[in-house]
């Protein structure tokens, strides 16, 4: 079993990380750099995970020390950091770290990254010289391709030429959970087909776990029981689905799906080729999509600083800045100003039951509804996690309550196929500034937040207004 050394001074996060990895790896824990170096000399870990908050930011030599310690010279080093530590992550990568991830962690993504780093030379022994040449040529081709759709087509073209499969497709999931065939060996280029997730349980499984799904015999796999009648006349016998994992907020959610009629099923060679291609594709797609965005949106850099990358609503920092401005304006001209603060009920259960990708789809749906009901003068934001806030200039208590009621109803009526009929509800708090009843924008936000928690305590899926008994 491969050994992973975790360095994290926080007991809770270290234990949480160990629990998520211990089923597949032998996990060694350290709280400090000194303790980590001692354990590394004893255990010779295969990979090291370091939480940046463990370190003294003024010590730039910590990364070379970890990399040069006896037992860790060849071990990949993955850094964990928060968005506020961007300068530290650059120092870490320049000083010898191999990879990084941002917190809060997506466990499935972390495991995928670990698996990529832990592949040894023996991993590639099943691949032929032609396979390796194909991978090299594919890497070079897609790394300079700036059209994301063309990258998907190139991947499908190269794979169908290289391996014994009858069909190769790349499936994407758009912001609102629709399943789309974006490239396929049996479709013309730039053709997009919407398909029903319920008819593809293997993709649904890969979506919820974010792990590869291998079905060596679809006629015997229990996973295919719900669609047994649909697959009776298929010539394909085996199916392999592998997620294309990178920064999901940037490239979206993609799956590489291959099917073959061979009775031997998916061979180790096919399995490894598809995994490697999925890995290199993530990097190329991310670069291409960022390039495409920069070419088509001159305000990209400005947007990146003020908008949440997942929902495209304003972020927490920009919301505070704008709310302060609007509060000053309301005070100066004796105007009304309202604030909505709301939270998705039981969002953790959605993530735990259906996976984080489905959770992200829910967040995007709600962001879309917020954009529908707000005016251009309003300031909607993803406040953090599953919390949202809206600043409404020139809006009184009656109007803000009406908007909150509309939002509550629209969210409850959401139909998201990944939730299998389960409804999403929210708890909403509102607060209004009028005639100097509130002394600061921070107090206004606090009142809306407090009202939202009162809505939670009162049974969820409801609205509470600050300063009223309702």
Nearest alpha-carbon partner for 456 in 387, 372, 363: 387
Q: What percent of the chain has pLDDT over 90?
A: 31
Structure tokens at 274: 């598809």
Distance CA 182, CA 257 (A): 11
pLDDT tens per residue across span 250-262: 345 678 888 888 6
Q: What percent of the chain has pLDDT over 70?
A: 86
Per-residue pLDDT, 318: 92
The yes-or-no verdict on residue 247 having pLDDT over 70 is no
Per-residue pLDDT, 161: 87
Question: Which has more pLDDT, 423 or 165?
Answer: 423
Question: Which has more pLDDT, 59 or 134?
Answer: 134
H or E element that contains 69: none
Span 50-63, mean pLDDT?
Answer: 67
pLDDT tens per residue across span 372-419: 999 989 999 999 889 999 999 999 999 999 999 999 999 999 988 889
Span 465-470, mean pLDDT?
Answer: 67
Distance CA 72, CA 415 (A): 50
Q: Are 258 and 272 in contact (CB under 8 A)?
A: no
Q: Which domains does the chain have, with CATH numbers?
A: 3-117 (3.40.50.2300), 122-295 (3.30.450.40), 303-465 (3.30.70.270)
The yes-or-no verdict on residue 32 having pLDDT over 50 is yes
pLDDT tens per residue across span 134-175: 888 888 888 788 788 888 889 889 888 888 788 888 888 877
pLDDT tens per residue across span 304-329: 678 888 898 999 999 999 999 999 99
Nearest alpha-carbon partner for 242 in 207, 268, 196: 207
Q: Are 183 and 155 in contact (CB under 8 A)?
A: yes
Per-residue pLDDT, 448: 96
Structure tokens at 73: 């010279």
The yes-or-no verdict on residue 248 having pLDDT over 50 is no
Per-residue pLDDT, 469: 44
Nearest alpha-carbon partner for 105 in 13, 24, 26, 191: 13
The yes-or-no verdict on residue 104 having pLDDT over 50 is yes
Length of the chain: 470
Distance CA 342, CA 431 (A): 12
Average pLDDT, the chain: 84
The yes-or-no verdict on residue 187 having pLDDT over 60 is yes
H or E element that contains 59: none
Work out the angle at residue 110's Cα, subtended by the Cα atoms of residues 361 and 5, and round it to the nearest 5 degrees.
155
Residue where the block lists tokens 């300031």: 379
Buried b (16+ CB within 10 A) or exposed e, 150-160: bbbbbbbebbb
Per-residue pLDDT, 88: 66
């Amino acid at each position: 079993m491969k050994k992973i050394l975790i360095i994290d001074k926080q007991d809770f996060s270290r234990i949480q990380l160990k629990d998520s990895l211990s089923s597949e790896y032998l996990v060694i824990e350290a709280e400090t750099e000194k303790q980590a170096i001692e354990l590394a000399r004893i255990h010779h870990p295969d990979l090291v995970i370091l939480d940046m908050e463990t370190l003294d930011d003024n010590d730039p030599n910590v990364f070379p020390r970890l990399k040069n310690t006896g037992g860790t010279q060849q071990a990949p080093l993955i850094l964990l950091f928060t968005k506020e530590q961007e300068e530290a992550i650059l120092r870490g990568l320049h000083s010898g770290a191999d990879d990084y991830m941002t917190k809060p962690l997506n466990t499935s993504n972390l495991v995928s990254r670990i698996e990529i780093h832990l592949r040894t030379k023996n991993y590639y022994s099943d691949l032929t010289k032609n396979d390796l040449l194909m991978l090299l040529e594919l890497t070079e081709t897609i790394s300079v391709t700036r059209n994301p759709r063309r990258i998907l087509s190139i991947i499908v073209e190269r794979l169908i030429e290289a391996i014994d499969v009858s069909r190769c497709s790349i499936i994407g999931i758009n912001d609102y959970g629709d399943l789309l065939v974006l490239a396929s060996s049996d479709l013309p280029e730039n053709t997009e087909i919407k398909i029903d997730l319920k008819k593809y349980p293997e993709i649904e499984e890969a979506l919820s776990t974010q792990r590869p799904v291998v079905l060596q015999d679809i006629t015997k796999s229990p996973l295919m029981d719900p669609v047994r009648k649909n697959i009776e006349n298929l010539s394909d016998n085996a199916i392999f689905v592998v997620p294309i994992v990178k920064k999901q907020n940037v490239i979206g959610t993609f799956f590489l799906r291959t099917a073959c009629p061979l009775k031997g099923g998916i061979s180790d060679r096919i399995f490894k080729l598809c995994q490697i291609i999925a890995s290199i594709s993530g990097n190329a797609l991310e670069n291409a999509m960022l390039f495409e965005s920069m070419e088509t949106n001159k305000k990209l850099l400005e947007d990146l600083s003020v908008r949440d990358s997942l929902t495209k609503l304003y972020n927490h920092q920009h919301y505070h800045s704008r709310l302060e401005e609007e509060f000053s304006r309301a005070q100066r001209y004796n105007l009304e100003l309202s604030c909505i603060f709301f939270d998705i009920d039981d969002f953790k259960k959605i993530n735990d039951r259906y996976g984080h990708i489905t959770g992200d789809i829910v967040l995007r749906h709600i962001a879309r509804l917020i954009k529908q009901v707000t005016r251009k003068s309003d300031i909607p934001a993803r406040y953090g996690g599953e919390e949202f806030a809206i600043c409404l200039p020139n809006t009184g208590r009656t109007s803000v309550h009406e908007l909150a009621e509309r939002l509550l109803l629209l969210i409850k009526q959401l139909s998201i196929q990944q939730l299998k009929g389960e409804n999403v509800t929210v708890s909403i708090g509102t607060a209004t500034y009028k005639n100097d009843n509130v002394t600061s924008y921070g107090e206004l936000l606090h009142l809306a937040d407090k009202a939202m928690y009162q809505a939670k305590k009162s049974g969820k899926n409801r609205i509470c207004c600050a300063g009223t008994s309702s």
